Structure 1
Amino acid sequence: MTTLTHFASPGSHESVEEGLQLTPRFDRDGLVAAVVVDDETGEVVMLAWMNAEALARTIATREGWYWSRSRQELWHKGATSGHVQTVTEIRVDCDQDAILLRVRTGGTGANCHTGRKGCFYRRVSTVPEGAEATLEFTGDQPLFDPKKVYGG
């Protein structure tokens, strides 16, 4: 697959915020944050990272492509699980250092590798001052068994 992996450098403050050219501001590691929301509900389902190639492939294919910081490799969401993200809209924030993707997810609709609809399935509990913070589940149950899909 041939995709554009070069984006123009950000210009003036005004051109970044008010211009019509996509000039993503990648961090020192060459990454930009991607907030992913469910197209139907507007619920945030995951936060991922994109390098220039992932962003270019996402634009070209209208499917979710990301950079795995832990594996140091490009990954196509759903290539293993079948839960491919079809991108319905791509937005950029005011200073072009974050991407927002609206997606429809195939298969069971799970976006998280734990098998859940989204990655934000726990919340921080309210604790007295000085106590250690703990987590509680929100009730988002797995839609598939990750061990069967990803192994071990």
Structure 2
Amino acid sequence: PQRPYMVLGSLREQMLYPTWSGHGPRSSAAPVPSEAQLRAALEAVRLAHLLQRQDGLEAVADWSAVLSLGEQQRLALTRVLLSRPTLALLDECTSALDAESEARLYTLLKESGTTYVSVSHRSALKGFHTKLLQFSDDADGKAVVGSQLA
């Protein structure tokens, strides 16, 4: 989402939510990611500096106040990268990021093997999708136009 949900808890808990927290519709049977995997995920989304800035994975903070919106969006995407869901629905999930960071995250997402559906107003994201659904006004209300991208 444009403004991801930030749980009250540690940086580790942020990354494991909701898949391994018991707060989701179902907790994962997959093993909880190791500290090395969590650190690698932070590195991949360019948030490794949080480990020093916030004093490690066990640091507790009001994350929605401490992190910029772009950092929150990148942290939320670590959840997807770590849990590897079959399908991810992404609503303006990179709206606070610059084009380079956005492309990097979508590249990581594409490489993860997760199928994703994105809502976005940025045409640059077309390169990370195979189909486009475009909603627009017509004389009778709304029209949906679909097209193959790749």
TM score, norm. by length of structure 1: 0.26
Q: Which has the higher contact order (CA 8 A, sep 6+)?
A: 2
Higher strand share: 1
